[in-house]
Chain A
Amino acid sequence: MRHVALMANGVRHELEVEPRELLVYVLRERLGLTGTNVGCDTSSCGACTVLVNGEAVKSCTMLGVQADGTEITTIEGLATNGELHAVQQAFHDHHALQCGYCTPGMVLAAVSLIDSGAATDEAAIREGLEGNLCRCTGYHNIVAAVADVAGVA
């Protein structure tokens, strides 16, 4: 077991984890942050995307021990004082979800993309979200929502 200290959504956690525990399971099963979904479990679909130090990362492809000392944001940590984050609100406004399974990862990938300044036009948004799959094929509205927040609609 290894001692890990991390911030998740602004809350400090210290816990003992087995080295082979993936970050996504540390978040879901140890911290109860079940908003982060596991889709493919093979680093492909992006459903498990969270922000590590502000950058989108597939949490099924990172060990909990690698997250020692980092700041993590999951979908539960985006809204402030009951107000949806701009990207969450835009997903709502643009009907950018159907079943919702890809949504937490998609929203966090979009936040990272917009914050990095790379969401410069529709093509860049489509490429910037290539690590996230939506099996309900709602890409059109997802791209519209992200473009809206990025101010390139």
Chain B
Amino acid sequence: MIPAAFDYEVAESTDHAIALLGAREDAKLLAGGHSLLPAMKLRLSRPACLIDVGRITDLSYVLEEADSIAIGALTRHKDVTAAALLREHCPIVSHAAGQVGDPQVRHRGTIGGSLAHGDPASDLPAVILALHGELVARGPAGDRAIPAREFFTGVFQTALAPEEVLVEIRVPKLGPSTGWSYTKMSRRAQDWATVAVAAVVERSNGSIERASVALANMGATPIQATATEKAIAEGGSIDDASALAAEGTEPPSDHAASADFRAHLARVLTKRALEEAATR
């Protein structure tokens, strides 16, 4: 399968990419290409022009800031997985990046591409949402920070404007009282999550005081399990709180699972994730 014909431009810098986005009709950024090219081969996507940002090396980094870790949008899954700063301060991100696809996918795919693609079944969107991370978009008017809660707007849709480039992802440093889990269920090797649960919890005296729980593949976007979070905040047990995990979700039915089975998975995986997060 060969993509439909398109023009190809190499962006030398982020500003160049923004200028090209403004100048070209129906243009799309090409990062690792591991979501875009499969879609183009199937002709589900036929952009007139690809702007290759894959050579902008200064958007590939992991840096420490006062309370957060900043990740360049073009950092590949492989480098996110290996990043010592993330392993130390926000291990849920490096762990989840290591769950994406297979090694070949992780050698090419980028964290920015994963988020900008807006696939509700993807791993990193749910994790960044559970962390209440921030996404930095750069456009003709400069930078703006978008909270993860406002970033995902629909299936394959995000708050990015057509002329914006996602440049950075910021996640909080997790302290010693914070536990985490990323619990992913998929039926086949290298597959997307049938359902996955990202949990970040605050512990005190051996129990969970607060929990942030985000679900992958339980609706049009990654979503917070708000009923579960509320139950934990009100002192509910993990068993009782996780039983509410599918409330307010609209999971899809497809070849991998029915909506009912996904709702079941959301409850079971949320329980496992909270139990793991309570002790890690």
Contacts and interface: CB of A to CB of B under 8 A. Distances in A.
B is a partner of A: yes
Interface of A: 2, 18-22, 25, 41-44, 46, 49, 52, 55-58, 60-63, 65-66, 109, 112-113, 116, 118, 128, 130-132
A82 B130 CA distance: 54
Given A19-B7, A20-B3, A41-B1, A65 B52 contact: yes
Interface centre among A43, A57, A112, A131, by most chain B C-beta atoms within 10 angstroms, is A43
Contact of B33 (A18, A46, A62, A128): A62
B257 interface: no
Contacts of A112: 103, 107
Contacts of B107: 52, 55-57, 112
B37 interface: yes
Interface in B1-57: 1-8, 30, 33-34, 37-38, 41-42, 50, 52, 54
Contact of A20 (B2, B38, B189): B2
A22 B2 contact: yes
Interface residues of B, number: 28
**Majority secondary structure of chain A interface residues (helix, strand, loop or mixed):** mixed
Contacts of A52: 107
B108 interface: yes
B172 interface: no
Contacts of B108: 57, 61-62
Nearest to B109: A61
Given A2-B8, A19-B5, A43-B38, 17 more contacts: A19-B7, A20-B4, A20-B5, A22-B41, A42-B1, A42-B42, A43-B37, A46-B104, A61-B37, A61-B108, A65-B8, A66-B33, A130-B102, A130-B190, A131-B102, A131-B105, A131-B190
A131 B103 contact: yes
B101 interface: yes
Contact of B101 (A21, A55, A128, A131): A131
Nearest to A53: B107
Contact of B52 (A21, A42, A66): A66
14 contacts: A19-B6, A19-B7, A20-B3, A42-B42, A43-B105, A58-B104, A61-B33, A62-B37, A62-B108, A63-B33, A66-B33, A66-B54, A130-B102, A131-B105
